[in-house]
Homo-oligomer: A and B are copies of this chain.
Amino acid sequence: MSDSPSPTSSGELVRAVYHLSGPEGEIPRRARDICVEQTVEFPEELIARQDIREGIIGRVVSIEPVRPELSEVTIGYPVGVVGTELPQLLNVLFGNISLQPGIRLMGFDLPRSLADGFRGPRFGRRGIRALLGAPTRPILGTAIKPMGLSPRELADLATDLALGGMDVIKDDHGLVDQAFCRFDERVARVAEAVARARSTTGRPCLYLPNVTGPSDEIERRARAAVDAGAGGLVVSPGLVGFDAMRRMADDADLAVPIFSHPALLGSFTVSPRQGIAHGALYGQINRLAGADACIFPSFGGRFAFTEDECRGIAEATRAPMGRIESIFPVPAGGMSLDRIPELRRFYGDDVILLIGGDLHRGGPDLVESCRSFGRRACD
């Protein structure tokens, strides 16, 4: 067994941009502390070896004041510290310092050698548009809900939604494998209903089961879903880990679009001086982890994301990122038919509009409500 090579630096850096709140005079020391905390996690003065000091410990690239009590700090981590693994990338970017107040990860930039190790989304915007034969218009999405309906009832609902022209029909993210709605039965019935509706309308329509589940069950569910005819998958990386999603995206046997749901991710963004910025989390990390579309609660719905925060997400879904494709923003969380013009003005037409409960407010003719959604979205 030969010993590993020494940590000689290639010179390539993972650059992370942080906002640090607090007095400007303390920023240089705090920035240096981050360099140590996120790498050697060891008293720096006790490290004499030059290869570790240069090849492992992070370095402060720049410090810029933003406004009183807020500074932007860029730190470069030697790429070898990250290796090639997504959990370790998240660890180096924000693992231990997530436990410190007043530090927010604003974004990051990977050297090409590292970025090229990530496939990212298998479909992205272009791939989803190709599957749907919809090169430029907004994509119409909805969910089957409420929880408590049986698989048969959800299938009936999906039939109407597909006949009404929905492009994407996802499981509500709370549908897992409860006794009143078993995963296998739900997916089989709904996929069959959507296939039948497709043969009636002659239009593509993707059904996306929610495969979020136990670590030892998620892969089976994803395969069962695809085998049953699912056109995509919904995963909540906050519940199962971003790398579980990455694994599905990398799995050539699945090869369907993946929609990322934000459940449990809110604590990362909810406090403006801590956590991870919206664009970094929902855009950059989701893309690296293979999401093709990113569901998030848009401004003006039941949640509290601001226009600026939503703009940050939308921009990060399409910002250049090596060879990693742009992905769809999916503003959601209490969107209504009335707001479609406003959503289109804000997000543009390269968007998936997700309207759930509000489709049911238009009375019993769900097919007609869907058509109304389509007219408003595509006029």
Contacts and interface: CB of A to CB of B under 8 A. Distances in A.
Contacts of A263: 91, 95-96, 98
Contact of A238 (B82, B98, B276, B360): B98
Interface stretch (A59-67, A296-304, A312-320, A338-346): A296-304
24 contacts: A1-B185, A1-B188, A1-B189, A4-B150, A5-B180, A7-B148, A33-B302, A37-B302, A41-B147, A51-B148, A56-B148, A81-B147, A81-B174, A83-B178, A87-B212, A87-B240, A90-B264, A91-B239, A96-B263, A214-B243, A214-B247, A216-B247, A267-B276, A270-B275
A199 interface: no
Interface string A254-273: 00000000111111111100
Contacts of A360: 42-43, 46
Contact of A265 (B99, B150, B178): B99
A100 interface: yes
A136 interface: no
B264 A267 contact: no
A127 interface: no
Task: Work out how many copies of this chain go into the complex.
Answer: 2
Interface of A: 1, 3-7, 33, 37-43, 46-47, 49, 51-52, 55-56, 80-83, 85-88, 90-92, 94-101, 145-152, 172-174, 176-182, 185, 188-189, 212-217, 236, 238-241, 243-244, 246-247, 262-271, 274-276, 297, 302-305, 333, 356-358, 360-361
